[in-house]
Amino acid sequence: MEEALQRFHAWLEAQDRSPRTVQAYLSDLAHFARWFAQTNGQPFSPEAITPTDVRECRKWMVAVQGLTPATVNRRIAALRAFATWAYEAGLVAGDPTEGVRLLTEQPRPPRWLDRRQQAALRRTLERRLEHAELKAHLARLQGRPVPPELVWARRDAALVHLMLNAGPRAAEVMASEVGDVVLRECHLSGCTGSMRFHPYWATRFRPSWANPFHPRCSTCFRPKGAIGTLAQILSIGHTWR
């Protein structure tokens, strides 16, 4: 078995597999070899593997070990590569993994915030906004320019409330433009059509957005980094029309 693993190792490297893939395949093959010996009561060898062994090991990895489909599929891929090498080396007459299906990876269910988490998020945004407004007030009293934190805090609060109340997907929000949000009419235009949200949202937050922040307001809403066009979504001059 040790000699077979060494030859398989050399074959993987000759196939230009990455070092990480080589190590993963060797580790996966060692897991299968231990399972094979414990289950069948005989040493593991290339010629001893049958399609039944592969299917039973697949069941065991899911039912007993609780492995994810991705991990199970990777281990089957490692065994398939081992079978390919053994066939090319003349050690086996066929591929025991042929016809063995890979597991289907179920898409992750959508996640959402419960009422308590939503309230905690709103409180955090409100505290951040209050802190930014205090800094802006002190700056005005001292005759200094209003710091940009006020713009960011108001923008972030508005965007979060937009997503909580209108329910757009993240991709839709990221692709939104300034003109897509019309609070007066209570709708958001997106790639799947127009979404309505409760008028309370507009009346609750309109006062804080109706007044301009400072002369550099428009530049503060230009896309930056990963925010992309999301940063423009509530620019004062375009949203309130």
pLDDT in tens, 81-117: 999 999 999 999 989 999 899 998 777 666 677 888 8
Looking at residue 207, what is its pLDDT?
Answer: 42
Looking at residue 176, what is its pLDDT?
Answer: 61
Please give the residue that has the higher pLDDT: either 143 or 115.
Answer: 143
Over 60: is that where the pLDDT of 227 sits? no
Looking at residue 114, what is its pLDDT?
Answer: 81
Looking at residue 83, what is its pLDDT?
Answer: 94
pLDDT tier for residue 237 given thresholds of 50, 70 and 90: very low
Over 60: is that where the pLDDT of 235 sits? no
Looking at residue 183, what is its pLDDT?
Answer: 52
Looking at residue 122, what is its pLDDT?
Answer: 83
Classify 97 as helix, strand or coil.
coil
Each domain of the chain, given as residue ranges in start order, spans: 2-88, 115-239
Q: How far is CA 84 from CA 78, 90, 97, 154, 200, in A?
A: 10, 10, 10, 60, 64
Over 80: is that where the pLDDT of 228 sits? no
Looking at residue 177, what is its pLDDT?
Answer: 59
pLDDT tier for residue 238 given thresholds of 50, 70 and 90: very low
CA geometry: angle 193, 169, 68, nearest 5 deg: 135
**Among the CATH numbers 3.40.50.300, 3.10.180.10, 1.10.150.130, 3.40.50.1450, which is that of 2-88?**
1.10.150.130
Mean pLDDT, residues 13-35 taken together: 93
Looking at residue 109, what is its pLDDT?
Answer: 66
Please give the residue that has the higher pLDDT: either 149 or 91.
Answer: 91
Mean pLDDT, residues 164-184 taken together: 63
Q: How far is CA 236 from CA 9, 91, 188, in A?
A: 63, 73, 16
Distance CA 51, CA 6 (A): 24
Over 50: is that where the pLDDT of 71 sits? yes
Helical H runs in the chain?
Answer: 2-14, 19-40, 51-63, 69-88, 115-141, 149-166, 170-174, 199-210, 217-220, 236-239
